[in-house]
Structure 1
């Protein structure tokens, strides 16, 4: 059974989540502060972390940053703030989803299922690595991509997206096709999250070559990758 760690300081919200997730067959642990969650995760694994942004000891964002130094466990943020900047920050530091309060417990359970489905091991698409003279070099065994000779520090999602774009240079991929590369159904409502991941990817590429723009936007269609 997948085990879900809930880090939420409001007991009523936590109880609702525990009930909804256990009804769907998940096992759960509830903790109310971030420090306890970090200590708990050092001792035992979780399959997914539901993390409140406004914790009493440290922020959920800070907890996620610390966690990402040692773990790629999927993270779903819960927050009372609906600003786009908060959602983008959450995704850029490694979150897998972002749910605004008040929320439907059944929707949260459905999103948990979608996240676990897309992070489950699956065959990687066949990719022809870029030539030695090209700007990208893919190492599937090490799950690494170099750009102009420099190793890119990519999240799991960023690696899969860039890998998919590298598979067919110059081809325009729709958001739905890129979601499929992550193992997510288009109807799951993650289309705009692709934009956030692409934004983060571009920022990391610009750190290597500020004057280049290999990822191209095709308005109303999607994204492509240029090797020029």
Structure 2
């Protein structure tokens, strides 16, 4: 079985070397890049399992890159950044990152976070395949797109897909914030809650829900959420 591939994008040679060494010692394959242009070119040839991305890059806006990765590649993205403000963490998660690690970091923590993302990616097993049909919609988790009754497709990010899959795996069951944090991973507290609010809001928009009276993703105030659709897995 081929070892998971982790790509590293950081303009500091010492950081790239530390991450390469610790991840390869842990059994992962790695590719390291100092520039976003080289990193994005590599994505056309190979799809990594996890991307480690610094925000302070010399040739592009790191947050914009994270958003493209999550939306277009469906990649699992962990930000590693010296920006330690809560707002930076919230923004990164809102744009589609799956986790956020601040510098300086413990190399062993990075390995643990990468392993957690890989576990999360396989934790929820679809009963019959990678496609869910519900209430006139088709969710293609292999391509990260939603298809409506007319065949029109709209993309969703890896992070949004995790939330949608969680709902589709547990229809008509209350899912609390604590359960979401446990199953989806990431830091607890304000940044996680804000990220979930944004992801659920975006899913409702893509599902053409009335924000004042959503039919599918219901908020149970003080308790969590319930997905009310009928779901068939293929």
TM-score tier, shorter chain, comes to 0.7 to 0.9
CA-CA distance at 1:129 after TM superposition: 6.1
Conserved 8 A contact 1:152-1:204: no
Instruction: Provide the residue aligned with 1:200 in structure 2.
Output: 199
Q: Do 2:160 and 2:203's aligned partners in 1 also have CA atoms closer than 8 Å? A: no
1:10 equivalent to 2:9? Answer no
The answer (yes or no) to whether the contact 1:3–1:46 under 8 Å persists in 2 is yes
Alpha-carbon separation, structure 2, partners of 1:153 and 1:40: 22
Whether the aligned pair in 1 keeps the contact of 2:137 and 2:147 (CA below 8 Å) is yes
In structure 2, do the counterparts of structure 1 residues 193 and 42 end up closer, same or farther at CA, with 3 Å as the change threshold?
A: same
2:213 paired residue number: 212
Give the deviation of 1:109 after TM superposition.
0.5
Partner of 1:133: none
**What is the CA distance between 1:77 and its match in structure 2?**
0.6
Cα distance change, pair 223–106 in 1 and its aligned pair in 2 (3 A): same
In structure 1, the residue matched to 2:39 is 37
Q: What residue number does 2:78 align with?
A: 76
Q: How has the CA–CA distance of structure 1 residues 154 and 217 changed in structure 2, closer, same or farther, with 3 Å as cutoff?
A: farther
TM-score by length of 1: 0.75
> How far is the alpha carbon of 1:18 from its aligned partner?
1.3
Pairwise CA distance, 1:7:
0.6
Aligned length: 216
In the alignment, structure 2 segments of 5+ residues that lack a partner are 230-234
The residue number in structure 2 matching 1:96 is 98
| Deviation (angstroms), 1:201 | 1.7
Cα contact 1:216–1:225 (8 A) shared by 2: no
Tell me: higher relative CO, structure 1 or 2? Use CA pairs within 8 A at least 6 residues apart.
2
Structure 2 matches for 1:1-150, cutoff 5 A?
1-68=3-70, 70-120=72-122, 123-124=125-126, 136-139=135-138, 142-143=140-141
Work out the CA distance in 1 between the residues paired with 2:17 and 2:62.
Answer: 19
Q: Which moved more, 1:145-154 or 1:110-119?
A: 145-154
Alpha-carbon distance in structure 1 between the residues aligned to 2:5 and 2:167: 33
User: What residue ranges of structure 1 are gaps of 5+ in the alignment?
Assistant: 131-135
Q: How far apart, in 2, do the equivalents of 1:38 and 1:93 lie?
A: 18
8 Å CA contact 1:53, 1:60 repeated in 2? yes
1:3 shift after superposition: 1.7
- Per the alignment, in what secondary structure is the counterpart of residue 28 of structure 1? strand
- Residue by residue, what CA displacement relative to the aligned partner does 1:145-204 show, whole Å, maximum 9, x if unpaired? 57899976432343343344356555321234335655x5xxx75676365134322244
